[in-house]
Structure 1
Amino acid sequence: MKPIWIVDDDQSIRFVLEKALTREELPVRSFANPRDVLAALDEDDVPQVLVSDIRMPGGSGIDLLAKVKERMPGLPVIIMTAYSDLDSAVSAFQGGAFEYLPKPFDVPKAVELIRRAVEESLREDVSDERLAQMPEMLGQAPAMQDVFRAIGRLSQSNVTVLITGESGSGKELVARALHKHSPRGSGPFVAINTAAIPKDLLESELFGHERGAFTGAQTTRRGRFEQADGGTLFLDEIGDMPFDLQTRLLRVLSDGQFYRVGGHNPMRANVRVIAATHQNLEQRVKEGVFREDLFHRLNVIRLRLPPLRERREDIPTLARYFLQRSAKELGVEAKRISDAALARLTAFDFPGNVRQLENICHWLTVMAPAQMIDAKDLPPELLSSAPLELPVAMPPASAQSVAAEPAVAAPSTGAAALAPVASAPAMTAAGWLADLEREARSLLEAGVPDVWDSLTRKFEAQLIHAALDITRGRRIEAAHKLGIGRNTITRKIQELGLDD
C-alpha cells in the first residue's frame, strides 16, 4: 500500500498522527508545507490518502487540494480545520475533499476516518484498473456471452448479418465489433439510420447522385455504398426502409451493382452489409410492408441482442463505466455510487436499455449533489415507481457489460421499477406520532418556552444517534443514510452536543 501523507506546519500534529498511524501499521510520510508535497508529486511519488491542514505558511490546503485533484482526481483528501474555518471546509468539499477533520480532534476518530479513506482509495484503484482494462464489449450475462461467441465465429466471414434488439440495446456497437474483427477491419465502417432520413433523401444518401439530378444537386455526390467500398455498411432500423427502396437494396445485395440518382452508368461496390432493427421483420413481411425476398437476403445470420432487463448482472459495472466516462467528458471528478443506488438501478426495467442507463449516469454526474450517489439521488421518475417487496441479489463488482450508442438526451425513466432491496420493516407511525403530540401538548399547556426548538433538537439528536449506532460511528455513512450532507451531520453533532 502507498503511504498516507500528512501535511501540517504544526510539528505536534504531524507527530501525533505519525505515531497513531504507525501503531495501526499504516505507512505514513509527513510534510511541513504544500510546496514539499507538490515537489514530491513531481518526483512521481503518489500517496494513498492525503491529510492536509487548511491554513499553512506557503500555501493553503484548499489550493493544494485543487492542484492535487488536477493530477489525481480519485485521491481521497482529508482537510484538517478548526471549527471557525467551517466556511473553508465547505469550500474544500466543493473542491472534492473526501472529508474534513475538525481541530482539536480525537485521535482514534481521526485514525478511523483515515482508514475509511484508505479503503475508499483501494476500491477506487481496483475500479480504475478494471475500467482501464475494459475491452470494447463486455458482459457476464449468458445472453451476452452468446453474442460474443457468435462474433468470434463470424470473425473470418463476410456473410450478411441481421442484428435484432430493442432500441438502445447497443446494436451499432455489435455491428462495429463485427466489422473490426472481420477481414474488412482495416476498411471503412459507414453507418446510416434509415428511419432518421426523409424518404425523398434516403435514396441519394444510399446510392449518391449525379450533378443536376434534382433541384439543389449542384455537384456529384458519392453515396454510402461507395463510401463503404472495401468495408462495412451498417443499415440501422432497416425495418423502416420505404418499400420501393427495398427493391434497389435487394439488387445491390444480389449483384453488387447500383446506379446513382440521375446516373446512367452502373456502379459497383465491394461492401459487406450489416442490418439492424427493433421491429419484427417476419410480421412486417406478413403485413406487406417489407419484402420477403429482402428479408431472406438479410437474414443469413441473425444475432439477437438482449434487452438490459435480461442481463441485470451487467448493470453495476456499466453504471460505473458510464459515470467514469461522463466525468471525463465534463472534466470533473468521477462520482461513486452506493450499493443502495446500484440495487435500485439493477431492479429497474430500463425500457430504453443501455442508452437510458447511460443518460441516467450522465444526469447523475451533473445533478447529484454529493460525490457518493445514493438511491435518493436517482431521477425522480425512477424513484416514484412503486417497489415490490423482493430482495435483489447484487452482482459482483467485476461484472462486465456492453456500452450503448452515444446519447445526449435527458434520461427517460417511464417504466415502472422493481424493488431494489427488501422493504424496510413497517413502522407504526401512529404510535410515535401520538407520543410526539402528547409531549407537545404537555409542554405547550405548561407554558414551556421554545417548544419548537426543544422538540426539534430532541428529534434530530435521536435520528443522528440511531444512524451513528447503525453505522458504528461512521459519520459519512450515517449522513448518507439520513439523506443529509457530511458537513451537515458534523455541524449538527457539535450543535447538539453529541460528541460529549
Structure 2
Amino acid sequence: MTDPIAKTIWIADDDRGVRFVLAEALRDAGHIVREFGDTDAVREALRTDRPAVLLTDVHMPGEDGLALLAALQAQGIGPVIVMSAYTDVATTAAAYRAGAVDYLAKPFDLDQAVTAVERALAEVSALSTPAPAAVVPGHALLGESAAMREVFRLIGRVAASDLNVLITGETGTGKELVARALHEESARRGKPFVALNTAAIPSELLESELFGHEAGAFTGATRRHPGRFEQAEGGTLFLDEIGDMPLALQTRLLRVLAGGEFYRVGGRELIRGNVRIVAATHQDLDERVAAGLFRADLKHRLDVVRIALPALRTRRSDIPLLARHFIASAARELNLPAKRFSRAALKLIERRDYPGNVRELENLCRRLTVIAPGVEILPADLGDGPVAASGHDWTDALRDWAGQALNA
C-alpha cells in the first residue's frame, strides 16, 4: 500500500510569501505540499511523517537550513533542495557538502523550482530501481551505424597484416582509438604501442623525438635518448597529424620506411627497426601533395590501406549509445554516482551538431556527470535554452499574491 505522505513536498521558509507562491506552483504541477515557517516545525513533523522532497531556506530564525540538512542526512531523510538569497561560493559549496541535491538562488524561476523537485523525485525512484550492469566493450570504439560497421570490418581485415595504414577523419573522430584497435588485434599486441602527435612537437625537436639522439648531439643533449622508433620496436608506431610533418623530416621518414634503418641524431650506429606504421591526419593529403607541402612518395608509403572515420553528425544513430557509454565511464572514472539520460535529454543530445565529434560528446558527458544535480539528466541540464517556456519568476507571483491580499 502506497503511503500518501511519501509523495508530499515540504517547504521550510520563514518568508510566508515565498512559501505561498512556491507551494501554489507545486500544487499546480500536481504535487501535495506542506509548509513550515521554521526548522523546529519541520523537526516536530518528522516525528510522524517523512517528506518525498524537502525545500529549505538557508537563513531562518533559530536553527538554519544547513544544520537541518545535515541532521536529515544523518537520518537518511531526503532528498533536500536548498534555497537562499545568498549565492556566494561558500554558501553554495556548504550546501552541497552537507548533502543538498540542488541549490536554488533567490529569486528563482518557479518552473525551475518545479523541475528541480521533479528531478529529485526521479532520483528517489531511480535509487529504488536496480541499475542494469554496465557492459564494458572490448574496444573503446562504439557504433552500430553502417559507416562504423564498415570501419570495424576494415580493422578486422587489416589488423592481422603488417600493412601500413592511413586513418583519416575530422578532429575528435577517434583516430587513435582505431590505431590502438589495429595494434591490439594484430600479432604485435604483446609489443609496445607508441603514439606521437607530430603537430605537437616543435619541428627542431621532432627528428630527435622520432629517431633519438646521442649525448652531445646538440645543446642540452647530455645523454643518449632512444626515439619513438626504438621505443616501438616490434610493435606499432602511431604518427598522428602526419600532414603537419615538415618536408625535411618527411624525406628522412621515407628512407626509414623504405629500408627499415635509421641513425640517431648525432649517431653513427645504423639501427634496424621492426615497426608497423599507422598514420593519421585530419587534412586532405592529396591537396597537401598538390600544394607541395607533402611528399607524394611518402603518401603512397603510408596510404597502403586507408580507413576513413565518419564525422559524428553523419552517424547520429550512434549518439545515444555513445552518450550512455561515456556517462557510465565518467562516473566510474571520477568515482561519482552513476547518472542516466532522460528520454527527452537524449533526444536533444542526438540532435546536436558536434564540431569536435566524439571527443566533444565525451567531454559533454564528463561535464554532466559532475554538474547535473540529479541521477537523471534532464533537458534543462544541457543548457539548450530556457528551463521552461513560461519564464514565470516567483517574484512576479509574489507581487500578484500581495495585490490579491491587499484587495481582499
Shift in Å, 1:124: 5.6
Corresponding position of 1:62: 73
Kept in 1: contact 2:261–2:271 (CA 8 A) = yes
Name the CA distance, whole Å, in 1 between partners of 2:322 and 2:100: 24
Structure 1 pair 287/62, CA: closer, same or farther in 2 (3 Å)?
same
Kept in 2: contact 1:169–1:306 (CA 8 A) = yes
Shift in Å, 1:238: 0.2
- Which of 242, 246, 266 aligns to 2:270? It is 266
1:376 and 2:380 are equivalent in the alignment: yes
Q: Name the aligned partner's letter for residue 195 of structure 1.
A: A
Q: Name the aligned partner's letter for residue 257 of structure 2.
A: L
Corresponding position of 1:294: 298
Corresponding position of 2:22: none
Matches for 1:394-433 after TM superposition, within 5 Å: none
Q: Name the aligned partner's letter for residue 366 of structure 2.
A: H
Q: CA RMSD in A?
A: 3.8
Kept in 2: contact 1:139–1:314 (CA 8 A) = yes
Matches for 1:221-232 after TM superposition, within 5 Å: 221-232=225-236
Corresponding position of 1:253: 257
What per-residue deviation string (whole Å, max 9, x for no partner) do you get for residues 40-96 of structure 1? xxxxxxxxxxx99x9xxxxx873475xxxxxxxxxxxx7599xxxxxxxx9899748
Corresponding position of 1:125: 131
1:191 and 2:202 are equivalent in the alignment: no
1:331 and 2:342 are equivalent in the alignment: no
Corresponding position of 1:453: 401
> Any gaps of 5 or more consecutive residues in structure 2?
1-50, 55-70, 81-93, 103-120
- Which of 132, 135, 142 aligns to 1:138? It is 142
- 1:125 partner SS: coil
Kept in 1: contact 2:179–2:238 (CA 8 A) = yes
Corresponding position of 1:204: 208
- Structure 1 range deviating more: 253-262 or 317-326: 317-326
Corresponding position of 1:320: 324
Corresponding position of 1:351: 355
Name the CA distance, whole Å, in 2 between partners of 1:232 and 1:291: 22
Kept in 2: contact 1:155–1:182 (CA 8 A) = yes
Structure 1 pair 223/64, CA: closer, same or farther in 2 (3 Å)?
farther
Corresponding position of 2:172: 168
Corresponding position of 1:310: 314
Name the CA distance, whole Å, in 2 between partners of 1:80 and 1:204: 58
Name the CA distance, whole Å, in 1 between partners of 2:157 and 2:233: 23
TM-score relative to the length of structure 2: 0.66
Kept in 1: contact 2:123–2:376 (CA 8 A) = no
Name the CA distance, whole Å, in 2 between partners of 1:245 and 1:279: 18
What per-residue deviation string (whole Å, max 9, x for no partner) do you get for residues 251-293 of structure 1? 1111101111011121111000000000000000000000000
1:182 and 2:186 are equivalent in the alignment: yes
Shift in Å, 1:339: 1.6
- 1:327 partner SS: helix
- 1:234 partner SS: strand
Corresponding position of 2:57: none
Name the CA distance, whole Å, in 1 between partners of 2:292 and 2:251: 13
Structure 1 pair 203/371, CA: closer, same or farther in 2 (3 Å)?
same
Structure 1 pair 122/299, CA: closer, same or farther in 2 (3 Å)?
farther
Kept in 2: contact 1:193–1:237 (CA 8 A) = yes
Kept in 2: contact 1:79–1:92 (CA 8 A) = no
1:218 and 2:233 are equivalent in the alignment: no
- 1:154 partner SS: helix
Name the CA distance, whole Å, in 2 between partners of 1:200 and 1:312: 41
Structure 1 pair 236/285, CA: closer, same or farther in 2 (3 Å)?
same
Kept in 1: contact 2:123–2:374 (CA 8 A) = no
Corresponding position of 1:340: 344
- 1:275 partner SS: strand
Kept in 2: contact 1:62–1:91 (CA 8 A) = no
Shift in Å, 1:341: 1.6
Name the CA distance, whole Å, in 1 between partners of 2:404 and 2:168: 58
Structure 1 pair 337/249, CA: closer, same or farther in 2 (3 Å)?
same
Kept in 2: contact 1:62–1:92 (CA 8 A) = no
Kept in 2: contact 1:163–1:277 (CA 8 A) = yes
Q: Name the aligned partner's letter for residue 168 of structure 1.
A: G
- Pairs aligned (count): 307
Q: Name the aligned partner's letter for residue 318 of structure 1.
A: L
TM-score relative to the length of structure 1: 0.55
Ranked by relative contact order (alpha carbons within 8 Å, sequence separation 6 or more), the top structure is 2
Shift in Å, 1:352: 0.2
- 1:162 partner SS: strand
Corresponding position of 2:367: 363
Q: Percent identity?
A: 53
Structure 1 pair 174/237, CA: closer, same or farther in 2 (3 Å)?
same
Shift in Å, 1:342: 1.2
Q: Name the aligned partner's letter for residue 267 of structure 1.
A: I
Q: Name the aligned partner's letter for residue 341 of structure 1.
A: A
What per-residue deviation string (whole Å, max 9, x for no partner) do you get for residues 411-451 of structure 1? xxxxxxxxxxxxx9x99x9xxxxxxxxxx9xxxxxxxxx86
Name the CA distance, whole Å, in 1 between partners of 2:147 and 2:402: 59
